[in-house]
Amino acid sequence: MTKTFALVAATAAAFAATPALASDFAGPRIEVTAGADDVTNGVDPTEVTYGAGLGYDLQFGKVVAGVEATVDNVFFGVGVGSTYKAAAGSWVAVREFSATGTVDLISTLNATWYITGVQLEAGSVATPFERRDYGRELIMCQRYFQRQTISIGDQYAAFSGNIPAATRITFPVTMRAAPTVSFTNVSATLTNTSGANFISVDGFSYVVNVTATGTYSRQDIANMNGAEL
């Protein structure tokens, strides 16, 4: 399956929509580039290259000078064979997609790929580049996944034998949908199980099973991870 993405570079550019008049070459301009890449190295097929550019021209008498910024094909080498790798920082006469010695993300267990300064969107229309602060990004992520260390305890039970005790846990952020809650035990005294009841987008009841008379306690790491799309 092929999916098209629009890529927005983190570059600020301002330009007017009014084209320069035929008698005056000063002003902003937009250009589109296209061509055929026919590198005959025995491996690469002929490919179509494309790109776009923005510029601003100034006219000094009969001389026109200007500046421009262009964006051409962008490739991310997350999995590239040795045939398509070359030394970093060097010009080559064939098409390469990654540097020699780089780690291939898709063939490395537990690899991490960091990317910044770009914005991927479904479809072919690019919206303005966004820079969200950490707090806002965290809140948005917590709608889909949360992890908390929760506990109930230092309570005295004047009864014995598999009696449930519960406390209400409230999420810091309203989740997208009621999640599935799982627990990893950290410590337990006079309790043998824990669970979640009455789960909603706002929280759940944390229930532990008290096994004997005395002061009981329990601490778990709770994962709320069932709200993904």
Which token pair is 131? Answer: 């820079």
Number of domains the chain is built from: 2
Query: Of 44, 72, 100, which residue constitutes the final position of a domain?
Result: 72
- Looking at residue 72, its pLDDT comes to 58
What span, in angstroms and rounded, lies between the C-alpha atoms of 31 and 6? 18
Quick check: is 192 in a domain? yes
- Looking at residue 9, its pLDDT comes to 42
Quick check: is 62 in a domain? yes
Query: Of 50, 72, 94, which residue constitutes the final position of a domain?
Result: 72
- Looking at residue 10, its pLDDT comes to 40
Which token pair is 153? Answer: 């305890």
Which residues of the chain fall below pLDDT 70?
A: 1-26, 29-54, 60, 62-75, 227-229
- Looking at residue 173, its pLDDT comes to 92
What span, in angstroms and rounded, lies between the C-alpha atoms of 146 and 180? 11
Query: Of 38, 56, 72, which residue constitutes the final position of a domain?
Result: 72
∠61-62-66 over CA atoms, to 5°?
85
CATH code of 161's domain? 2.60.40.2080
Quick check: is 93 in a domain? no
Quick check: is 229 in a domain? no
- Looking at residue 7, its pLDDT comes to 43
Threshold 0.75, pTM exceeds = no
Query: By residue range, what is the domain housing residue 55?
Result: 5-72
Backbone angles phi, psi at 138, to 5 degrees: -65, -45
What span, in angstroms and rounded, lies between the C-alpha atoms of 106 and 100? 16
- Looking at residue 112, its pLDDT comes to 81
